[in-house]
Amino acid sequence: MNGWTALDRFLRTDPRDVGCAEAMELLHVYAELAAAGAPAAERYPGIAAHLAACGPCGEDFDGLLAAVRSPAE
C-alpha cells in the first residue's frame, strides 16, 4: 500500500457513521446483541460504522463486550 492509499483510507468517512453520542447511548444494546451472536451490525449499521472508525468508542465496545462475557458475580 502506497502513502496516498494509506492517507485515503485515513481520511475516508462513512456517511452512515452516527457519531459518539448515539453510539454511546445504545452501546449496551449493541454489545448484548453482539455477545448473543445476533447480527448487531446489520441491525445498527450506523453504530457498526462508528465503532469501526472511532478508536475510543471501539475500545469501549470491546471493554463492554468483555464485561458482558465475563463470569457472573
Partner 1 sequence: MAPADPTADGISPAPRFDPDSDQWVRVLSGSGPQREAALARLHGLLLRIASGELQRRGGQFRITGPELDDLAYQAAADALLAIVVKLSQFRGESKFTTWAYKFVIFEVSAKIGRHFWNNPAVRMDAEDWERLPDRLGLDPARETERRELAGEVRRAVDEHLTPRQRQVFVAIVLNGVPMDALVTELGSSRNAIYKTMFDARSKLRDVLAAKGYLNVQTSRHS
Residues that bind partner 1 (CB under 8 A): 2-4, 6-8, 10-15, 17, 19-21, 24, 26-29, 31-32, 54-57, 59-60, 62-64, 66-68, 70, 72-73
Q: CB-wise, 41 or 60, nearer to partner 1?
A: 60
Angle formed by the axes of helices 45-53 and 27-35, nearest 10° = 100
| Least distance between partner 1 and beta carbon 37 (Å) | 15
Residue whose C-alpha cell is 448484548? 32
Q: Quick one: 31 or 48, whose CB is closer to partner 1? A: 31
Q: Which three cell numbers stand for residue 66?
A: 468483555
Q: Which of 8, 23, 12 has the alpha carbon at shortest distance from 61?
A: 23
